[in-house]
Amino acid sequence: MLDCFAPKPAPGAVPIVPIAKADLKKRLDKLPPRQAAWLRAAGFTGATGQVQLAPDEKGELEKVFVGQGDDDALWVLGDLPQRLPAGRYALEAPYDKKQQTRAALGWALGSYAFTRYRKPEKKKIALDWPRKADRAHVERMAEAVYMVRDLVNTPAADLGPAELAAAAQALALKHGATCGVIVGDALLKRNYPLVHAVGKGSVRAPRLIDMTWGARGPRITLVGKGVCFDSGGLDLKTSAGMKMMKKDMGGAAHALGLASVIMAAKLPVRLRVLVPAVENMVSGKSYRPLDVIASRKGLTVEIGNTDAEGRLILADALAEADRDKPALLIDFATLTGAARVALGPDLPALFTDHDDLANDILRHGAAEADPLWRLPLWRGYRQGLDSKVADLNNISESGFAGAIYAALFLKEFVSDSTPWAHLDLFAWNARSRPGRPEGAEAMTLRALYALIEDRFG
């Protein structure tokens, strides 16, 4: 797979030499005077993002110096696949196994391009695998991130509920998992009324995707919001608000991505992935404001706004997930604009009442350079979801704390005893950074994989 790595190392690769800002003087002193003079003349300081190509006496490329700033090894090579000329390269750094693995992963993540509709410029560029790098880890993580990015980048016309289900089934087939899909009106018979209600306005039938893998070990269940396009339904979005909504299945892509890593690593767990896949559209069959719908769990829900659709489909999926009392239940969703107002595009919001789980997730996030930020399931706001006619309203009238209301809504469908975490994430890079090109992005995958490996691996 990964053609950004050379199949085997051979002589003649151009060394890539990372230099951290703090080490600059020491490192320059140890270089051949010609190279040190070149770097000084070029104004190289070791700052993040600096790339300095150095020639030999014949004027040929001899070395690539790259500024590491004071950053993690993860992103140090992240820009280079885009910026270096064609050729074969090798990392030359005093890195331990962990740092080599991270640098290789950054190279792989920075080599991604979305090529479905346009052939990439053919530039043959490859890195020799750093000798101590954990190749299998890099390959399965990069493969999962590429899958998430491809799914999220694909426009809604080419990725509806059926295509999302097909992607899940292809993943299941690859890893020997079982994947059932409940389609259209069968959702009513099988008691997924909220998934059905949200999806019924589209000519593309809604689905409940249910994948299971692994014969023994603790149960881990991943749930992902699979809104393939979110027009807002009858409470229609503005054109600016609607524009990016092909990515509203980002949560589903994340659930499948994390599942992919877990299955590729063959972790000793019983995995289940539940993805409600719908298109939130406007038609004569759409659900309406103030409709009341009985959920899978039995709680009735009054529709305050058809644009708060993600929490509705997740409610039925979470109720089902909760039934088998998993040892860990995680849901991923591009759930609210409010989470982005609070934390911006790069920081997913983490909600859980289980402090030990929160602390573990945050700790792994920091260790993996895969940050998240905890927000509260603030009980004081719960009455804001009360309805005058049903058990619950899907929105609060308050204009404040939108991400918290959405999370509190979900909480109604999960038992207090279930170790459940909810992640409200953007799934998109608003701008390019090393290893993270503008466009679709997998967020929290490294953090959660590390947590699961640590707890159950």
Task: Please report whether residue 230 would count as binding Mn ion according to CB under 5 A.
Answer: yes
CB 108 within 8 A of CB 4: yes
**Least distance (Å) between residue 314 CB and Zn ion:** 10
For the chain, the farthest-separated pair of C-alpha atoms sits apart, in whole angstroms, at 82
The helices-and-strands tally (H runs, E runs) of the chain is 15, 19
The interface partner of residue 340, options being ligand BES, Zn ion, Mn ion, none and the CB cut-off 5 to 8 Å by kind, is: ligand BES
Choice from 169, 305, 387, 432 touching ligand BES (CB under 6 A): 305
Candidates 7-15, 92-100, 301-309, 430-438: pick the segment binding ligand BES (CB under 6 A). 301-309
- The residue (of 204 and 340) whose beta carbon lies closer to ligand BES is 340
Task: Please report whether residue 308 would count as binding ligand BES according to CB under 6 A.
Answer: yes
Candidates 24-32, 304-312, 398-406, 425-433: pick the segment binding Zn ion (CB under 5 A). 304-312
CB 437 within 8 A of CB 110: yes
Task: Please report whether residue 307 would count as binding Mn ion according to CB under 5 A.
Answer: yes
How far apart, in Å, are the Cα atoms of 113 and each of 80, 216, 299, 436? 14, 37, 44, 11
Choice from 163, 302, 309, 346 touching ligand BES (CB under 6 A): 309
28 vs 365: CA distance, rounded Å? 34
Residues 356-395: x where in contact with ligand BES by CB under 6 A, - otherwise, as a string? ---------------------------------------x
DSSP for 81-101? HHHSPSEEEEE-S---HHHHH
98 vs 91: CA distance, rounded Å? 14
CB 435 within 8 A of CB 78: yes
Candidates 172-180, 230-238, 331-339, 358-366: pick the segment binding Mn ion (CB under 5 A). 230-238
CB 235 within 8 A of CB 306: yes
Choice from 336, 393, 418, 429 touching ligand BES (CB under 6 A): 336
Question: What does the block give as tokens for 222?
Answer: 């991943």
The interface partner of residue 306, options being ligand BES, Mn ion, Zn ion, none and the CB cut-off 5 to 8 Å by kind, is: none
**Least distance (Å) between residue 385 CB and ligand BES:** 11
Size of site (CB under 5 A) for Zn ion: 4
- The residue (of 230 and 441) whose beta carbon lies closer to ligand BES is 230
Choice from 402, 434, 435, 437 touching ligand BES (CB under 6 A): 402
DSSP for 313-349? HHHHHHHHHHHT--SEEEEEE---HHHHHHH-SS--E
Candidates 52-60, 116-124, 215-223, 306-314: pick the segment binding ligand BES (CB under 6 A). 306-314
Give the sign of the dihedral formed by CA 288, CA 290, CA 235, CA 313.
Answer: negative
Q: Which residue numbers are catalytic? A: 237, 311
Residues 353-382 that bind Zn ion (CB under 5 A): none
Task: Please report whether residue 320 would count as binding Zn ion according to CB under 5 A.
Answer: no
Half-sphere exposure for 242 (CA within 13 Å, toward CB): 17
Beta-bridged to residue 210, according to DSSP, are: 180, 274
**Which residues are near Zn ion by CB under 5 A?**
227, 230, 248, 310
Q: Which parts of this chain interact with ligand BES (CB under 6 A)?
A: 230, 248, 305, 307-310, 334-338, 340, 395, 402
